[in-house]
Structure 1
Amino acid sequence: MDITPLRYDRLSDKIVKQMIQMIRDGSLKAGDKLPNETVLSEQFGVSRGILREALTRLQSQGYIRRKPKDGTYIQEDIQGMLMNESVNELLKKATYSDLLDFRETLELKMVERVIERASDEEIEELFDGLGVADNEEIQHNMDHYFHYKLAQASRNIFFMNFIDTYYDLISEIANRSHRDQERRNQIAEEHLAIAKAIANRDKNAAREAVLYHMRMVDKKVESMK
């Protein structure tokens, strides 16, 4: 039987959920100033202590900011935050195959942007984290670092956010893949090929190197099923 466990939400939890929903549906907009605590607690029908608990949580989660002797405001960049939340929720529901397809498309564009935008110094930094690690956890971290530096050099914040989210989601699969010493050696060679193509400002070679790397990642994952 598929039964959802019952839960009891505290009043402060309900306030948090309601205010986040108001932000999402546009009832509360970026930069809006909230009523003072006395008024707001009366509107919610709760004590000021419960209201403060909810506001503290909303502040810690980045939805609001509080100015001493001024008031409480909805964050100015709230739409960007909500967009990232939506993307992250979609990614969590995706299959590994979906993620790999999306990552391939993204990284093909990413290396083009690195070649177009990055300085020679930024490209040189791509070589810093190359090599073969002694164990799967270190290799996973090195893999993450290399692709994050690529995203950073592209100067696109969405690329950077995706890489971080992607590696969080696939950590278990990636660590299993990196247990193979031969595969760790291959990863180092594949990363080096990508970095060299970018250093030469050769878009075609960079795209080919990325495609080969993605094919090898997919092949390894298939062999573990």
Structure 2
Amino acid sequence: MKKPRLSERIAEQLESMILDGSLKPGDRLPAERVLSERLEVSRPSLREAIQKLISKGLLFTRPGGGTFVKNSIATSFNDPMVAMFRENPEYRFDVLEIRHALEGNAAFYAALRATDDDKVRIRSNYEQMIKLHGSKDPMDEARADAAFHLSIVEASHNLVLLHVMRGLFELLQNSITHNLDKLYTIPRVFDPLSAQHKELMEAVAEGRPEDARKAAQHHLAFVEDSIKEIDAEEARKIRSLNRMNILGETPK
């Protein structure tokens, strides 16, 4: 069997760091000298490995500004689907169904495998999400929500699951932005969401895998029901306005 080149092994190591979240989208790679010392490899081999990942679309460079992890690693997976979901809003519930299955398992394994660092990161993301409640842009809170859930997926230490979930969150945020806005601005929805997030966080932190799975699945069922309820309310408003227009009435 042909022995892989050193640059290929370095590229695989960097790719694993991207997939497991050690290097996050938008992060700048450490300086070449620092990174080569950290990985204990030569700078020419490191340079070759970085070029391989640039060719694969995982990294990009800015002239005079360094090398960065691409913000949207799963773009090729998501772009056509985002367009499809915008044209067919009902497909968003397909995403929620998949999340329901995947995140229940992610929470289960996170409760079994989470390190102390994982638990600190999960709690920090939870606190940031609560802190952003009432932000001028509700999408700030929605993005913090995604970061919280992804930190639990990261704690499962399943790289395939993490890669898939990152793509699903990007797809979900691009396709139902309007509904995400509403989820964080309606008190009757936000209060249970906050309690569910806390329950999920504590089940993972305390190493209760079955409770963590149930908490994740209960939370996602609530999100799906809430979005459907919001849709129904908006549909009723539209029908009411149309009726008023037909009758020549003035909305109150």
Q: Same fold (TM over 0.5)?
A: yes
Q: Does the CA-based 8 Å contact 1:91-1:99 persist in structure 2?
A: no
Q: By how many angstroms is 1:215 displaced? A: 1.2
> Per-residue CA shift, 1:57-109, capped at 9, x if unaligned?
xxxxxxxxxxxxx9xx876763989x934531464235111111111112112
Q: Does the CA-based 8 Å contact 1:152-1:160 persist in structure 2?
A: no
Q: By how many angstroms is 1:117 displaced? A: 3.0
Comparing 137-146 with 207-216, greater Cα deviation is found at 137-146
C-alpha distance in 1, partners of 2:191/2:112? 29
| Structure 2 residue 110 is the aligned partner of structure 1 residue 114 | yes
SS in 2 for 1:201: coil
The residue identity in structure 1 corresponding to 2:173 is Y
Q: Larger Cα Rg: Structure 1 or Structure 2?
A: 1
Q: Does the CA-based 8 Å contact 1:177-1:220 persist in structure 2?
A: yes
| Structure 2 residue 119 is the aligned partner of structure 1 residue 123 | yes
Correspondence for 1:181 among 183, 187, 200: 187
C-alpha distance in 1, partners of 2:54/2:121? 33
The residue identity in structure 2 corresponding to 1:104 is H
Decide whether aligned partners of structure 1 residues 79 and 117 sit closer, same or farther in structure 2, where only a CA change above 3 A counts.
Answer: farther
Query: Unpaired segments of 5 or more residues in structure 2?
Result: 1-7, 9-47, 60-72, 86-90, 232-252
TM-score computed with the length of structure 1 as normaliser: 0.58
Q: By how many angstroms is 1:115 displaced? A: 2.4
> What does residue 94 of structure 2 align with?
98
| Structure 2 residue 56 is the aligned partner of structure 1 residue 78 | yes
TM-score computed with the length of structure 2 as normaliser: 0.52
Identity %: 16
* Counterpart mapping for 1:158-197 below 5 A: 158=163, 159-197=165-203
Count of residues in Structure 1 that have an aligned counterpart in Structure 2: 154
SS in 2 for 1:179: coil
Decide whether aligned partners of structure 1 residues 137 and 112 sit closer, same or farther in structure 2, where only a CA change above 3 A counts.
Answer: same
> What does residue 156 of structure 2 align with?
154
The residue identity in structure 1 corresponding to 2:74 is N
Query: Which structure has the higher relative contact order (CA within 8 Å, separation 6+)?
Result: 2
Q: By how many angstroms is 1:192 displaced? A: 0.4
Q: By how many angstroms is 1:210 displaced? A: 0.8
C-alpha distance in 2, partners of 1:85/1:138? 21
> Per-residue CA shift, 1:172-216, capped at 9, x if unaligned?
211122220231121111100001111121111011101110111
Q: Does the CA-based 8 Å contact 2:95-2:168 persist in structure 1?
A: no
> What does residue 218 of structure 2 align with?
212
Q: CA RMSD in A?
A: 3.0
Comparing 107-116 with 161-170, greater Cα deviation is found at 161-170
C-alpha distance in 2, partners of 1:77/1:111? 34
> What does residue 143 of structure 2 align with?
141
C-alpha distance in 2, partners of 1:161/1:151? 13
C-alpha distance in 2, partners of 1:205/1:74? 42
C-alpha distance in 2, partners of 1:212/1:150? 16
Q: By how many angstroms is 1:121 displaced? A: 2.5
The residue identity in structure 2 corresponding to 1:150 is I
